[in-house]
Chain A
């Protein structure tokens, strides 16, 4: 009895620690890898952002051009997330609930923006909506071009977040609501949407983070006009090329903080809502 009790925790701690070892080889290698590739560079970035003192940091992030770039990036990202919440959900809806010839091909094309290099995306959009547009629509070098580029690169995030949830959604619930006399609109509003909201928030967070930092797809089509169509990443690149690494690092740190705050906010919202729906 005593033996059984004492031997059990032993074996548990043995295997719970990855096969046998308390050896730290695996975690050590992992820490070394992440330290070298991620942690040291990010520390250097933060260090450098204050390299010329706090005043220089504040001056860098409050310069009119920096503020304009950050403001543009934020608003463009927000609009794109909102459009995606609607269109991405509709796309997922059609892929799951509708049925037509060629749907499988459409479904696999959704991942194209992940596979296509961002610079090719930029050139691609420029070919259709640039100066030589076959439709005569030329939006190049206008703020709206940034939205198109961001919508392209973030399309899969929302669709692939909502799609699995929609697929697993219990149709009995909808039928029950409908048979109890709920109109289709009520079913969507009271049954379907509440179930989708956590997934939409997850997708939205990923979209937001991607939009805040996007570079390749935007750089060709936006024209990078300072204080007009220049997004944060392009502005930072300009600072690097102008040999102002401290200012570049300062704006980068602010952009990173923005992204982390947004991601955390989305995550907290999602948790609250999931908890609500579990209780209710």
Chain B
């Protein structure tokens, strides 16, 4: 689509006297960009696969079979399975509140949503550690009642939610603003209650925004490292996720183990990329008016920023 439109545009352009020179410039720029992307992006990622399979497939299979890998893998899956629904449901609730309601403190709420983007994952981990660590009043109280948050799975889930919090909200709010309230008002005047209006009118309209938010949330939950590393305490077999497993194996000089976990994570990342592509083509088929093809990812965030007064 993009290729086709730009090709016709180029064809339609009057061929000037310096056409040959502009062609040379175009090829040079293309060369520079491809070289840059190859050196920065493609070759390093290819290198991990080459290194992982250096000794054949045997060591990789062996590394995957180890209990430590298995435990890390399933813990990562568990955290993701819990985090994504929470971030999605609460994200939609928050987006509705921000886009549809007027209440005191709405601007503060809106600013808080963007805060995780401005924070280092380490700082996020530290702030949770300070609230829920056993030295703090809240953490101490919970510990007295037998609930450990820090150095345990609940803390890791909290950290992941914190990090992933903006994604669904920042995808859904612009869509809610764009669709306006006309249809909701119509449904409401026709006698539909709030619940029915939500399920039959609002949800179908925002579902692509939710889908994209969920893709981003899933990717981040699978791959979060810094914040989770701080609150997990890295107790082997208990609180080691796949990403901390990579670091732990690397520091233990088990290079094959580190690369194996890395390619499993990279494989998941590629699946996420495929999901993004499917989403893109879905979006194109819908042919929504303001959707620039292949613009994705940050376009909603940045427009949200400009619409909501700069975000942070």
Among A52-60, A138-146, A230-238, the one that faces the other chain is A230-238
A192 to B165, CA, bound (A): 36
B6 touching A99, Cβ below 8 Å: yes
A-B contact pairs, 10 of them (CB 8 A): A15-B185, A26-B96, A38-B162, A91-B37, A109-B41, A117-B246, A161-B302, A179-B14, A213-B120, A248-B126
Q: Which residues of A contact B216 (CB under 8 A)?
A: 114
Q: Is B98's CB within 8 Å of the partner chain A?
A: yes
Q: Which residues of B contact A124 (CB under 8 A)?
A: 44-45, 47-48, 262, 266
- A118 CB → nearest B CB, Å: 5
Complex interface bits, A90-121 against B, C-beta within 8 A gives 1, otherwise 0: 11011111111001101111011111111110
A30 touching B93, Cβ below 8 Å: yes
Q: Which residues of B contact A107 (CB under 8 A)?
A: 2, 294
A41 touching B292, Cβ below 8 Å: no
Among B60-68, B105-113, B140-148, B203-211, the one that faces the other chain is B105-113
B265 touching A120, Cβ below 8 Å: yes
Count A-side interface residues using an 8 Å CB cutoff: 111
Q: Which residues of A contact B16 (CB under 8 A)?
A: 178
A11 to B198, CA, bound (A): 18
- A77 CB → nearest B CB, Å: 12
Q: Is B181's CB within 8 Å of the partner chain A?
A: yes
Q: Is B296's CB within 8 Å of the partner chain A?
A: yes
Q: Is B222's CB within 8 Å of the partner chain A?
A: yes
- A170 CB → nearest B CB, Å: 11
A42 touching B115, Cβ below 8 Å: yes
The one of B122, B223, B262 in contact with A236, judged by C-beta atoms closer than 8 angstroms, is B122
A41 touching B127, Cβ below 8 Å: yes
- B104 CB → nearest A CB, Å: 9
Q: Which residues of B contact A44 (CB under 8 A)?
A: 127, 130-131, 136
Complex interface bits, B206-227 against A, C-beta within 8 A gives 1, otherwise 0: 0000000000100100111110
Q: Is B235's CB within 8 Å of the partner chain A?
A: no
A199-223 residues at the B interface, CB under 8 angstroms: 199, 202-203, 206, 209-210, 212-216, 219-220
A positions within 8 Å CB-CB of B = 11, 14-21, 24, 26-27, 29-31, 33-34, 37-42, 44-45, 47-48, 87, 90-91, 93-100, 103-104, 106-109, 111-120, 123-125, 127-129, 132, 134, 148, 151-152, 155-157, 160-161, 163-164, 167-168, 171, 175, 178-179, 184, 199, 202-203, 206, 209-210, 212-216, 219-220, 232-234, 236-237, 240, 245, 248-249, 252, 255-256, 259-260, 263-264, 267, 270-271
A249 touching B130, Cβ below 8 Å: yes
Q: Is B156's CB within 8 Å of the partner chain A?
A: no
The one of B40, B113, B198, B225 in contact with A148, judged by C-beta atoms closer than 8 angstroms, is B40
Q: Which residues of B contact A248 (CB under 8 A)?
A: 126
B120 touching A236, Cβ below 8 Å: yes
Considering only CB atoms, which chain B residue lies closest to A41 in the complex? B127
Considering only CB atoms, which chain B residue lies closest to A31 in the complex? B109
Q: Which residues of A contact B50 (CB under 8 A)?
A: 127
Q: Which residues of A contact B262 (CB under 8 A)?
A: 119-120, 123-124
Considering only CB atoms, which chain B residue lies closest to A90 in the complex? B33
A15 touching B188, Cβ below 8 Å: yes
Complex interface bits, B33-47 against A, C-beta within 8 A gives 1, otherwise 0: 110110011111101
- B156 CB → nearest A CB, Å: 14
- A22 CB → nearest B CB, Å: 9
Q: Is B81's CB within 8 Å of the partner chain A?
A: no
Q: Is B286's CB within 8 Å of the partner chain A?
A: no
The 8 A-B pairs of least Cβ separation, nearest first, read A213-B120, A117-B223, A164-B295, A41-B127, A115-B269, A18-B100, A215-B226, A19-B194
Q: Which residues of B contact A115 (CB under 8 A)?
A: 219, 223, 269-270, 272-273, 276
- A258 CB → nearest B CB, Å: 10
A71 to B257, CA, bound (A): 35
Q: Which residues of B contact A220 (CB under 8 A)?
A: 247, 250
A252 to B130, CA, bound (A): 12
Q: Which residues of B contact A29 (CB under 8 A)?
A: 90, 93-94, 97
A47 to B50, CA, bound (A): 48
B13 touching A175, Cβ below 8 Å: yes
A233 touching B122, Cβ below 8 Å: yes
A94 to B3, CA, bound (A): 11
A96 to B33, CA, bound (A): 13
The one of A19, A240, A264 in contact with B197, judged by C-beta atoms closer than 8 angstroms, is A19
B226 touching A160, Cβ below 8 Å: no
Considering only CB atoms, which chain B residue lies closest to A202 in the complex? B302
Considering only CB atoms, which chain B residue lies closest to A12 in the complex? B185
A41 touching B298, Cβ below 8 Å: no
The one of B158, B276, B312 in contact with A37, judged by C-beta atoms closer than 8 angstroms, is B158
**CB-CB under 8 A for A90 and B29, given A117-B243, A127-B48:** yes
A38 touching B226, Cβ below 8 Å: no
